[in-house]
Amino acid sequence: MSYLFSYDYRYDDNAYDTETSNKQVDVEDSIGQIYVKYVEPGTAQYGGIFDDTMLRLHRTKHEQFVRDAMHGLSSGFAVLDASQPWLSFWSLNSLDIMGRTIDSTTRTQALQTVQRFQDQRGGFCGGQGQLPHLAGTYASVMALVLVGGDDAFASINRERMYEWLMTMKREDGAFAVHEGGEVDVRGVYCVLVVASLLNIMTAELVSGVAEFVARCQTCEGGLGPYPGVEAHGGYTLCGLAALEIIGSTHVLDLKRLARWMSARQMAFEGGFSGRTNKLVDGCYSYWVGGAFSILQRALSRTPQDDMLYERRALQRYVLACCQDMRIGGLRDKPGMSADLYHTMYGLLGLSLAQHYVGVDPQTRITDTTSVYSVPARMMQWDVVTSAADVVGVSSNVVKPVHPVYGVSLVPLAKCIKYFYALPPLAPSL
């Protein structure tokens, strides 16, 4: 139990209401109606003692939601035709985080589905007959990481993948997400995740990346999609994670970044918003919450320092407000319907709030010149069991995940072991 609930934490519009502030009030009203149910009777007027023992992760219901989606979606989901690898990734990862088995039938179906999207020029498409796309490539590779096995890993054409990634490379260090497509820090993240997992990192590939990401940091402190654009939680994690992969988080103003990220946690709701003056959203439990784990490492903080956000408040928001008890799955906020996207990212944020996953500042690897320094640094991330902090009953615990890659540690390690047994494309970075 902790002193959490109080209407004193609500947004103050200073008697000047706007469309934005009115929406904020509406959201707080809906969340307050939920939170008050968890407050011990007779204590609300003194700050409200929140009874965490009432909070439950309804794992079975969420598993059924995911498995139903994997068996087929309605025609209304045709708008996601270009996101088919993502549907596989969101589904498989949600099951894995919850500790549910990816059985042989599900594995075979997922493997066959993703393999259809590999383009002969390299990379993966979002759907059959479409252009290869960095986002679809990232989602496909991550789905194959979760599927696991030599057959899944061997199905990826590393050489053509590298050649295609280099065709997306731009002079400013960034990457176009597809031929003739937009250029942003999301593409940088997708490229470095894929390259670091497949052992196709080269000096040419990472040239200019750190400088481009640094230029994306705004006056607020967060990162935008490209230089000169408003800071956003999703792009902040993408940029910070990309820099962590190449060992270059020092190029950012980390203190300014920490201040902006801390301001994203909503005082009343406990969850995160993605931008200044925006509403809370369950997906930012990972996009901002996960970025805190990487920031912790960048600032050389230890478990004794704890995180720079309130881990228990975030867990309460996910467990009390984001679970859709009508159909299963997780949602953005009360009043919204669950979907696979928010289910996976809500579970990722819940995991990183429960578990302390980090790197010991005293023993961390600092070399960034060897190709093999990349997996060595990435696999240094480990779970500090003594720093776990789980809200509610013990059955709420989900698997710990790697904050950079957003998947659990065992399938990630198996993938890295397989590809780094293969010859690298270059001896050094």
Indicate which residues carry an active-site annotation: 232, 275, 278, 281, 283-284, 332, 339, 342
Secondary structure of residue 330 in the 3-state scheme: strand
- Give the contacts of 40 (CB within 8 A, at least 6 positions apart): 1, 48, 49, 50, 51
Count of positions (residues) in the chain? 429
Task: Give the whole-angstrom CA distance, residue 92 versus residue 148.
Answer: 11
Tokens for 327? Answer: 């159909």
Distance spanning both ends of the chain, measured CA to CA: 50
In single-letter form, the type of residue at position 293 comes to S
Residue 36 is classified by DSSP as G
- Give the contacts of 286 (CB within 8 A, at least 6 positions apart): 237, 345, 346, 348, 349, 352, 406
Task: Report whether 290 contacts 252 (CB < 8 A).
Answer: no
- Give the contacts of 104 (CB within 8 A, at least 6 positions apart): none
DSSP output for 128-184:
TTSPB-HHHHHHHHHHHHHH-SHHHHHTS-HHHHHHHHHHHB-TTS-BBSSTT--B-
